[in-house]
Every structure is written in C-alpha cells, then in structure tokens.
Structure 1
Amino acid sequence: MELKWKIKPFEALTVHELYDLLQLRSEVFVVEQNCVYLDLDGKDKKGLHLIGEYDGKTVAYARMFDAGISFDNASIGRVVVATHYRDRKWGHDLIREAIAGIKSNFNKDKITIGAQLYLKKFYESHGFVQTSEMYLEDDIPHIEMVRE
C-alpha cells in the first residue's frame, strides 16, 4: 500500500493533523534521539507541511520553506518517518515529494538543508551535496547540504 500525501499551509491543518505531526516529531526527535530541544521554533506557521499517511495514520512528515526563512534558499526540515515504517524506505518517497513540493509551491530548484551527519549518503542519493563542515545542533552532528 502506498502513502497518501498532502501538503498544507499551517492555517489549513486540522487540530488532529497538527497534533499527529507534532506527536511524530516528538517521538523521533525528542524521545528516540534522546534530545531535549525546542521543536516549536516559530517557523511552523511560515511553512508548508508535507504529511504522509498510511492507513489513516501520520507516518511521514517534512516541512518546506520558501527562500529566506531557514536558509537563503528554499529548504526542507523536520524530515521524519515513524520508527515502525522505516523498513519500507518511505524516507526516499518523502524526500522526492518534498523536492517536488518546493518546485510546485515556491518555483525553486535550489534547496538547502541542515542534515544530520549520519544521513549524508541518504541525502546525496537525492542530489544534495555537503557545503559545510560538521557542526553540532542540539548536540547532534549536522552538515549543511545543497541541491541545485
């Protein structure tokens, strides 16, 4: 079975969609990665939210921004797939959908991300190239990457 994708601005999210995507982000970025950080950074209201649903449940998510919000270029962030679904390789579908969403909604090709270092090869497989030295963000090694 395939994921059902939808892209919504913040104002169009239902209360249930918002709760589900924040719960998924918290499960992975706070609990699984054992990282205490402020997920609610004020940017959610400025972005588009890409939600992947399977059997009525939010299992994949990313947020997309136009240029000038997170980086000088358009950007993708908070990329996450629920733990129990990672064996299905839906992260690749998620990134492809996010890249297409940046193009169709912002008409941009150049995308910058702040990627966790261990995912470098994953992002390289989608055309991203490392453009910075490693840096720590919330004590997790990251690199900046750009896709032209």
Structure 2
Amino acid sequence: MTEPQQSAATRLAQLDWRWKSFDDLTSLEVYTMLGARSAVFVVEQNCVYGDIDGLDTDAWHLLAYGPGEEQPPLAGYLRVLLPDTDDADDTDIRIGRVLTTAEFRGIGLGNAMLERSLTHIGAQWPGTPIRLHAQAHLQGFYGAFGFAPVSEVHEEDGIPHIWMRSA
C-alpha cells in the first residue's frame, strides 16, 4: 500500500459516524450540517437554491466527523427520507444531499458513506426500494452501488441531474 493510500485509510478509520433523526441532532450539528450543505451546494457549485426545504425534520441524517477535540470538522453528510405515507405513489426511500467537504475529498469517503447508509437502510427497512436524484456526472459512482437511471437527464438549478433507483 502506498503512503497516500495508507493516509486515506487512516483518515477514514478516524471518522466519527453519527446516524440521527432530526430531533436527536444537537443545535451545533444542525448548524454544521447546514453550513456544509451551503458551502458545497451553493458556494462551490455556484447554485442559488433553497436548501432548507422542510424535509430535514422528518429525515435521518448521516454525519461523518473528522478527528478533533472541541469542535470536530464535518467530513461528510447525507440525509435519508422515508416514503411519504400520504402518497401511495411515493414508496421509495430517498437518499439526498450527499456531500464530502473539501478537506476530506479523495479518501474514499463518498464510498464509505454510501456503503454505510445502504447497510443501515437495508437493516431498518428491508426490501424498500431506494431512489436518489444524482448529478448526472455521478451516474457511474451511484451505478457501482446498484443504482440505475429511471429518468432522462434534466436540468435542476442549472445542473444536469438524473433520477436513479436501486431495488
């Protein structure tokens, strides 16, 4: 194993994983989560959109924190939305807002987050299909986890996206 691979593996091993409902998040975790989403999706991607969409309060949140004593840095994040019980057509679990922060890119964190979330979803809600709205250039990444396109590529907030689903 080369030195950069050891460093990436070491960095992944040092992460503190937190899987929480919105009600169990601390105010600092919510602040950090929203800050990271704004930094990545609004600032880095130069995409002005309403990130606070009213769905976080019913979602499950996976947060990965880097090492740190007082206030560890958020390394990665995603949210999981359960099927809408009021909508018979909405039977899929949805993964969204998947991000890694700049300081933690290139260490395989995206893979680790998706593996962890799919394992958790499979254990908690076995057999429930999973859907996500991916940026089109990430089709290969999500395809490696069994997701297949279920829509045409379309533009959302100025960025090409595609709906993908895994059974």
Tell me which amino acid in the other structure corresponds to 1:50. Answer: L
Please give the per-residue CA displacement for 1:76-110, whole angstroms capped at 9, x wherever unaligned: 00000001211111000011111122223333441
Give the structure-2-normalised TM-score.
0.83
Larger radius of gyration: 2
- Asked if structure 1 preserves the Cα contact closer than 8 Å seen for 2:91 and 2:129, the reply is no
Q: Which residue of 1 aligns with 2:4?
A: none
For residue 64 of structure 2, the aligned residue among 45, 52, 64 is: 52
Please give the per-residue CA displacement for 1:6-30, whole angstroms capped at 9, x wherever unaligned: 1111011001111111111010000
- Asked if structure 1 preserves the Cα contact closer than 8 Å seen for 2:63 and 2:77, the reply is yes
Distance 1:107 1:125 in 2: 20
Distance 2:75 2:95 in 1: 17
- Deviation at residue 135 of structure 1 after TM alignment: 1.2
Give the structure-1-normalised TM-score.
0.94
Q: Which residue of 1 aligns with 2:102?
A: 83
Distance 1:16 1:107 in 2: 32
SS at 1:87's partner residue?
A: coil
Q: CA RMSD in A?
A: 1.6
For structure 1, the 5+ residue unaligned runs are none
Q: Does 1:31 align with 2:43?
A: yes
Question: How many residues were matched structurally?
Answer: 148
For structure 2, the 5+ residue unaligned runs are 1-9
Distance 1:7 1:22 in 2: 16
Q: Which residue of 1 aligns with 2:114?
A: 95
Quick one: percent identity of the two aligned structures? 36
Q: Which residue of 2 aligns with 1:42?
A: 54
Alignment of 1:96-111 (within 5 A): 96-111=115-130
Tell me which amino acid in the other structure corresponds to 2:76. Answer: A
Q: Which has the higher strand share?
A: 1
Q: Which residue of 1 aligns with 2:80?
A: 64
